[in-house]
Structure 1
Amino acid sequence: MHRQTRTLHSGWTLTCLGGPGVRPGLPEAIAATVPGTVHTDLLAASLIPDPYLDLNEITVDWVGRCDWRYETAFDWQDDGAEQVELVFAGLDTFAAISLNGVEIGRTANMNRTYRFAIRDHLRSGDNHLVVTFESAWKRGEVLDKQYEPRPNNYPGPANLMRKMACNFGWDWGPTLVTSGLWQGVTLESWSGARLARIRPEITLDGADGVVRLNAELAGDAQGLSLRVSVAGVTETLPVSGAVATLDLRVKSPQLWWPHHLGSQPLYSLDVELLSGDTVIDRWSRDIGFRSIRLDTTADEHGSAFTLIVNDAPVYVCGANWIPDDCFLPRVTPERYAGRVTQAKDANINLLRVWGGGIYETEAFYEECNRQGMLVWQDFLFACAAYPEEGDLPVEIEAEARDNIVRLMPHPSLVLWNGNNENIWGWFDWGWQDVLEGRSWGQGYYLELLPRLVAELDPTRPYWAGSPYSGSMGIHPNDPAHGCTHLWDVWNDIGYEHYADSVPRFCSEFGWQAPPTWATLTQSVHDNPLTPTSPGVWHHQKATIGNDKLLRGLQGHLPVPQTMDDWHFATQLNQARAIAFGIAHMRSHRLRNMGAIVWQLNDCWPVTSWAAVDGYGRKKPLWFALRNVFATHFLTIQPRDGGLSVIAVNDRTLFWRGPVTVKRLRFDGTVLAEWTHWRLCADRLSAAELPIPAEVATPGDVRNELLVVTMHDSTAIHYFADDIDLDLPAPQADFALERSGTDRWTLSVTARSLLKDVCVFVDRLHPDAGVDDMLVTILPGQSHIFTIDGASDLDRAALTSAPVFRTANDLVRGG
């Protein structure tokens, strides 16, 4: 009998079983969606306000403190199958499952799949299935008494359980403690045997691709065989036990590459379990052939940290990824596709799935496979000490085994990482005094997880933490070794201090700004709206975050006096800060081989470090990333007491051509000019060209700039910060034309220097977007902006503040 699978997603109801602060007058039961969460069911029934709006997060806090019961009925008729199993792909988190009045299991981990044998508990006709969830807050109180104190950077018991840590709040996220059947529920029937676990180890041997297929079987597999096919190659193997291993060699397959280096051919890997000629179970995934290794060789600067794909060293232009919504089932495959596309369009080539979130659903990794987006996957530990006693080690091992095996077929996945900031915390955050010798997770990161990766997925590198130097004998955040986090810049000092060091690899650094105006006003309804009005303040989760926003402007931009200027200045400063840091790091390519900005996305509308806000709109930072992560990137950097042009080439062909350097007054007058007739940057490298002092030295630092061009790449350098520049009053001529039903072109011709032009069309039409921002236009030059999503546009509103903005406005007081 072929294994039969049936989803159990209909007919569910939800009942509140009570808890602290429960809302009076709740209906006895409401309709429930599976997959789903309690919060989204209550929202659909209009029983709670939207927690993303205003101060509603506080209003709905009671939801996470209650126990909840899901129940449904389903019809079952005996089809003669020897085994019937109830499979839960994701239960959040502490659940008791009963079928027809009999408890069949309990769960305590939202990050793994659970499978229960239920044939003996089924009856012909109607069957009653109940899943009861205990509040994670309530279970946390029990665990808190069980474990002695363990440091945690954030309130809540996330480090004592296996639940998404940021559920309990983060410095960019709300405290919305969920429960529910967040992934699918299926009924599986089978006889004899089934495929239990498939592990394809995919490697290259010279020009050939090799698949070592490891299959674990459940049931009695005697007399069965395994047939495996990929890329036109098929092999069959008789099964003699519970584990079978089969090697397939594919002659000269096309290689899978990150998107900036090549194409992403995918091949279907098909596994069939046969009884004679009859297929009784099957498994299929799309795979890609590529090699991956992590180079940590010692050198004159310390030790490298370089990802090497298909023997090519890759400079990582990355972004950290957090859960894209607090209510996980709302992140559809289409939403994943849109967000990964936004990353790719910003020239990002790697997403780091951060350890305070989840192992994402298959749709995320499949999209990364298709789009050539590399994935760095954290194991789920973040910013806290984790006990190594009690039930946690068993849960953590089961969770890791589940997810290593589930994710290893994906060619996009290139690195397993043990934790986020926990080793750093043990070194620097006072943990050792608090712990007094108690466990904190070291055994997970240095023993358990590397052992499991070596056993289950030996083709991929494992790294113990981010940050981590590679040795407990070297400080984990030493920039000369391993991967580094740079958070002192945002927290304590100005962004110019990104240039103080050259990390071998920077896996976290970031700068805050509010969301787009449309997102801010869609989610906050304060009147008046100010940086410190209640709703805006509530949607700023970082400690003294607004103070840091203003402090970060010091020395760069004037203190804004209006809400409009505050919004623009802080967004502009975010883009400037991150672009400055990345340009510095990329200019030291080879010594530095990666910059992963914190962060790509948000899970709700909030002032944060994200480039794409919680409603999916692009902040100016997104446009800055697109520029500074370009595969052909030109930058002007201080070198040896002068200035040099650095041409960074992350393509597979050399980049060469004439370089022209001009020193101009702000009115466009050319004061000095020099052309170097051929600068050549070899493939996957950077080339440096010193600028002659007579060109690089200004006569008036307040009124001059350098412009460097090489082919279609341009770099601009100012000799002082904006606050010390004599930027002119912005003057321009505009031409607005409709180019489609909802598309427009805005031509801007500068009559004065226009620095960092932004067109915030979302202020006029919330769903509209523009194709470019942060554009500097020299006097006499023009730039065309394309606007999409606006059925009509008011030319006067479009071409004046607060929609049309330049840095000139801020310096000159609006």
Structure 2
Amino acid sequence: MAGRFLMRRIIAIVVSTLVLILAAGFVDARAATVASTELTSGWALRSATGLADTGAAISQVGYPTPGWNPVSLPSTVLAGLVANNVYQNIYFGQNLKNVPDLTGQNWWFRGEFTASTTSPGQVYWLRFKGISYRAQVWLNGVQLDADAVGSMVGHEYNVTGVIRPGAANALAIRVTPPAHDCKDLSFCTVDWNPEAPDMNAGLWGKTLLDTTGPVALRDPYVKTVLPLPATDAADLSVYVDAVNATSAPVTTTVSGTISKAGQPSIPVSQTVTLNAGERREIAFAPVHVANPVLWWPYQFGSPELYQLSVSATVGGAVSDTKAIDFGVRQFTDYRTTVNGTSFAGYKINGRNILFRGGGYMWDMLQRWDGKTNAAHVQYVKDMGLNTIRLEGTLGNEELYDLADKAGVMVMPGFVCCSAWENDSGWTAEQAQVAVASLDTQMRATRAHASTFLWTYGSDQPPTAAHLTAYKNVAAALHWQNPTLDNVATWSNANAGMKMDGPYVWEPPVLWWDTTKAGSAFGTTGEEGTESPPPLESLQRFLSPADQWPIGAAWNYHAGKAGSVFDNTTPFTTGLDNRYGTATSAADYSRKAELQNYENTRAFFEAWNAHEYTQSFGTIFWMLNSAWPSVHWNLYDYYFKPGGGYFGAKKANEPVHIAYDYATRKVFVVNSTLTARAGLTATATLYNIPDLAQKSTTSAPVTAAANASTEVLTVPAVTGLSASYFIRLRLTDAGGAKVSDNLYWYSTRADALGNKSSWYRTTPKTYADLTGLNSLPANTAVNATASRTVSGGQESVAITVTNTSATNLAFFLRPEVTAGNGGNEVVPVTYTGNYLSLWPGESATVTAVYQTADLGGRPPYLRLRGYNIPTSSIPVP
């Protein structure tokens, strides 16, 4: 079904124009040019309202465009208007409300480009990677498609009979936006931010002009089968589609080579005759490879990649070529029953792997670039995560490439709470668009080593008929990875993943108490909490009056208006009750960083500590924000890492010691494939504020590879202060630190009530952490920094020393800023942060960033902490 839908797009030009170059001309491919050019510049945008001219006129070379908005592709309508300052600073405060609804009108995108000169037998292809939602497509006065529909459907046309080789050509695309409230099969942001006023209408994907000979190649792919549990061999099956662009049969030889440096090359070849206009999958017999170099997620090994190069020749001349990277690896799934429910677990190359990640969102206007994509993948790895979930955020193919190379797994699938899930009332067109969308997006992800799972639905599974159609697409594409019908056991008892919340702040004990909904048992497709960003980020999108007290503008950046997430009351209530009522934006931010850190750390610690016995994978909702947000992210829109980021980084360090808030047990989690023996775990309790030591417990530890080990229980101790510290340390046989972890807690523990909903469990009582506010001010903290610069990248070694003989330096935040008093340079990674130093202790962390991100300003080291004054020194 999907193939027919896409083929209709490919041959549309033939049907609409009745123009074909003679078959004999196509077969003579002696000098055909094989190339692909992205059409990014020379475009303009305007509303179709009030413009009487048709596509036949607008797509003529030289058509005048005074008053149009110049744009570069890819671009949505709103992104183009923002780029032209039609609407300004729309992410600040509530300015987005000033943008009118842009979906009630059509929009013209028009561009001119020069096509390469023709060669004997040359074919020209026009390809659109993403048009949302519906479009008329015109080239040089000829309509190529009267109704190109589907935001996630690729559209392709043989334009050989219409193109003007070696001369100027004009394209005009009339776009009809998707409907609001996710009523079309488009991109949806559900409830995590306001909908874009244009619903992301436009040419959001790449627009390409390709040239080939008479036979074009599409979608090369290599499927891997390992003789698990052995991994000393692999059977590799190569597939590629071949398209005959002519009106007569053509015989072509399709050849491929699998290669990797240091490994023998593997050739495959097949000669076929394609009928006129035929698109056919060319399948090669599996090739057997001894001792392959495997692709591993980065924590387990090296993400090694092979290359596949394929070519089609006609009459001895090259007609087309394609090349991809792929990994020799195999993901498999299994089921385990926990608390009466069947949950899915996953293995990579026969090894258990706990997937832990976050839900990725691109910018609200679907703007991205290479640097932004690289920063997302870099941050995922820096936090010790291994997975990016894409809930309907499909099509950013560069992100897949980066994940392949980084050894980060990708979990794509369709979105919830929209037309995608309200499929029982689909029209025939919607059913066709859904299947074609899956076909397009599976073709884009199937060859990637990083892709480990496809989820056909999110909160709810598709209807039986549509699920069957989906699975038929996967089978036809030789999909090599596991799939799930959906990721919520509340709607499908056999889903394999749960989605029982929470989605607002909960005390850390919830993640550990496996009697509570949302706790760390089973496998979860998503759950998360509010996460207000650091003060410097708040200042970038809220005016001083809107930063404090919390009000309408703040809540506008919490979640979709009218949803239960259009405020952060649970988070603020927890903060005020646990840390003391906030008195200003600065005080709120200082305490929010503590609460974000402890909560996110506990989240990942609980899932990690229960791995493979009770827990099998988790996605934090969300990884990042589509716009400046105070809800659901591990790092903010500006890439400033905060408490949640560093809490996740601490929890997910390679070998980690963790505290169970529910049982007082201590676990050591080894997330590597190498066992660690001869370790010692120590748990020490301290009063606040005098740091009087109340108890110490130690135990020897052998940390098995890729496993969690329970090592000791922190004893109940009398005489503790109301707020106290728990310091966990893990050392090796030589006494060197392996993991050092500080908790602050209370003799009045957080307690959860019995009232629970799909998005929260209401706390009954709150821990008393106000003792932290009585820590003596410490002015005896010194910091030094040294910098190395190489290839546009800077590395700053920061050493912080607490020279006080009596006072703790608590929750220290060293950061490199652009100029004295400037914002932190971002994106940036630190080997550690939010440090706490006992008297006489010292720590060194390294910051890495790009010189260009200083914006021409000198780097400074700013040091802040919960009980130390802020200082700033130049970085030499």
TM tier, smaller: 0.7 to 0.9
Following the alignment from structure 1 to structure 2, what is the Cα–Cα distance between the partners of residues 679 and 744? 32
Opposite residue 798 of structure 2, the aligned amino acid is: T
Q: Please report the TM-score for the alignment, with normalisation by the length of structure 2.
A: 0.78
Following the alignment from structure 1 to structure 2, what is the Cα–Cα distance between the partners of residues 682 and 79? 63
2:822 aligned residue: 765
Equivalent runs, 1:720-799 vs 2, <5 Å: 720=747, 723-724=768-769, 726-727=771-772, 728-732=774-778, 733-740=780-787, 743=796, 745=798, 747-749=800-802, 751-759=806-814, 764-768=821-825, 771=830, 772-784=832-844, 791=858
2:708 aligned residue: 686
Opposite residue 144 of structure 2, the aligned amino acid is: I
Conserved? CA contact 1:82–1:192, under 8 Å: yes
Following the alignment from structure 2 to structure 1, what is the Cα–Cα distance between the partners of residues 869 and 158? 62
Matched residue count? 745
Instruction: Say if 2:358 is the partner of 1:335.
Output: no
Identity over aligned pairs, percent: 17
1:601 aligned residue: 624
Equivalent runs, 1:346-745 vs 2, <5 Å: 346-355=383-392, 357=393, 359-382=394-417, 384-386=421-423, 387-423=425-461, 441-443=462-464, 446-468=467-489, 472=492, 474=493, 482-488=496-502, 490=504, 494-501=507-514, 502-527=520-545, 529-541=547-559, 543-553=565-575, 555-590=577-612, 591-637=614-660, 643-656=664-677, 657-666=679-688, 667-676=690-699, 678-691=700-713, 693=715, 696-702=716-722, 704-711=724-731, 712-717=738-743, 718-720=745-747, 723-724=768-769, 726-727=771-772, 728-732=774-778, 733-740=780-787, 743=796, 745=798
Deviates more, 1:100-109 or 1:601-610: 100-109
Conserved? CA contact 2:777–2:868, under 8 Å: no
Aligned-residue offset at 1:538: 2.7
Aligned-residue offset at 1:560: 0.9
1:228 aligned residue: 256
Which sections of structure 1, spanning at least 5 residues, go unmatched? 21-25, 141-155, 424-440, 477-481, 806-814
Instruction: Indicate the SS of the match to 2:193.
Output: coil
Conserved? CA contact 1:54–1:525, under 8 Å: yes
1:9 aligned residue: 40
Equivalent runs, 1:116-131 vs 2, <5 Å: 116-122=157-163, 125-131=167-173
Opposite residue 201 of structure 1, the aligned amino acid is: K
- Aligned CA distance change for structure 1 residues 75 and 791 (closer, same or farther; 3 Å): closer
Instruction: Indicate the SS of the match to 1:573.
Output: helix
1:151 aligned residue: none
Following the alignment from structure 1 to structure 2, what is the Cα–Cα distance between the partners of residues 318 and 588? 16
Conserved? CA contact 1:173–1:606, under 8 Å: no
Opposite residue 791 of structure 1, the aligned amino acid is: P
Instruction: Say if 2:356 is the partner of 1:320.
Output: no
- Aligned CA distance change for structure 1 residues 131 and 283 (closer, same or farther; 3 Å): same
Instruction: Indicate the SS of the match to 1:689.
Output: strand
Following the alignment from structure 2 to structure 1, what is the Cα–Cα distance between the partners of residues 434 and 43? 30
Q: Deviations over 1:48-67 (max 9, x none)?
A: 21212232211223444442
Aligned-residue offset at 1:402: 1.4
Conserved? CA contact 1:173–1:603, under 8 Å: no
2:791 aligned residue: none
Aligned-residue offset at 1:391: 0.8
Q: Deviations over 1:741-771 (max 9, x none)?
A: 8857362415423443345776932133683
Aligned-residue offset at 1:735: 1.7
Instruction: Say if 2:78 is the partner of 1:36.
Output: no
Instruction: Indicate the SS of the match to 2:202.
Output: coil
Deviates more, 1:403-412 or 1:245-254: 245-254
Conserved? CA contact 1:216–1:243, under 8 Å: yes
Following the alignment from structure 2 to structure 1, what is the Cα–Cα distance between the partners of residues 299 and 627? 30
Instruction: Say if 2:147 is the partner of 1:101.
Output: no
Q: Deviations over 1:421-473 (max 9, x none)?
A: 135xxxxxxxxxxxxxxxxx32366422233223313421001112247x94x
Aligned-residue offset at 1:785: 5.6
Conserved? CA contact 1:646–1:687, under 8 Å: yes
Opposite residue 173 of structure 2, the aligned amino acid is: V
Q: Please report the TM-score for the alignment, with normalisation by the length of structure 1.
A: 0.84
Conserved? CA contact 1:738–1:744, under 8 Å: yes
Instruction: Indicate the SS of the match to 1:406.
Output: helix
Conserved? CA contact 1:748–1:782, under 8 Å: yes
RMSD: 3.2
Following the alignment from structure 1 to structure 2, what is the Cα–Cα distance between the partners of residues 286 and 560? 52
Following the alignment from structure 2 to structure 1, what is the Cα–Cα distance between the partners of residues 38 and 829? 42
Opposite residue 736 of structure 1, the aligned amino acid is: A
Instruction: Indicate the SS of the match to 2:472.
Output: helix
Following the alignment from structure 1 to structure 2, what is the Cα–Cα distance between the partners of residues 475 and 194? 42
Aligned-residue offset at 1:370: 0.6
Q: Deviations over 1:463-491 (max 9, x none)?
A: 1112247x94x386xxxxx2122424627
Aligned-residue offset at 1:624: 0.4
Instruction: Indicate the SS of the match to 1:556.
Output: helix
- Aligned CA distance change for structure 1 residues 690 and 785 (closer, same or farther; 3 Å): closer
Following the alignment from structure 1 to structure 2, what is the Cα–Cα distance between the partners of residues 744 and 255? 35
Conserved? CA contact 2:521–2:610, under 8 Å: no
1:149 aligned residue: none
Following the alignment from structure 2 to structure 1, what is the Cα–Cα distance between the partners of residues 135 and 74? 15
- Aligned CA distance change for structure 1 residues 658 and 445 (closer, same or farther; 3 Å): farther
Conserved? CA contact 2:489–2:499, under 8 Å: no
Aligned-residue offset at 1:45: 2.6
Which sections of structure 2, spanning at least 5 residues, go unmatched? 1-28, 52-64, 260-264, 275-279, 515-519, 732-737, 750-766, 789-793, 849-853
Opposite residue 255 of structure 1, the aligned amino acid is: L
Instruction: Indicate the SS of the match to 1:634.
Output: strand
From 237, 243, 247, give the equivalent of 2:270. Answer: 237
Greater share of helix: 1
From 260, 265, 273, give the equivalent of 2:312. Answer: 273
Conserved? CA contact 1:503–1:592, under 8 Å: yes
Opposite residue 498 of structure 1, the aligned amino acid is: W
Following the alignment from structure 2 to structure 1, what is the Cα–Cα distance between the partners of residues 783 and 122? 71
Instruction: Indicate the SS of the match to 1:260.
Output: coil
Opposite residue 199 of structure 1, the aligned amino acid is: Y
Instruction: Indicate the SS of the match to 2:126.
Output: strand
Following the alignment from structure 2 to structure 1, what is the Cα–Cα distance between the partners of residues 588 and 271? 70
Instruction: Indicate the SS of the match to 1:518.
Output: helix
Deviates more, 1:226-235 or 1:215-224: 215-224
Equivalent runs, 1:64-83 vs 2, <5 Å: 64-75=103-114, 79-81=119-121, 83=123
From 124, 130, 136, give the equivalent of 1:84. Answer: 124
Conserved? CA contact 1:340–1:367, under 8 Å: yes
Conserved? CA contact 1:755–1:776, under 8 Å: yes
Aligned-residue offset at 1:784: 4.5
Aligned-residue offset at 1:114: 0.4
Aligned-residue offset at 1:531: 4.2
Q: Deviations over 1:92-139 (max 9, x none)?
A: 222111223332212221212101233344457544321111233xxx
Conserved? CA contact 2:810–2:865, under 8 Å: no
- Aligned CA distance change for structure 1 residues 189 and 81 (closer, same or farther; 3 Å): farther
- Aligned CA distance change for structure 1 residues 194 and 489 (closer, same or farther; 3 Å): closer
- Aligned CA distance change for structure 1 residues 95 and 264 (closer, same or farther; 3 Å): same
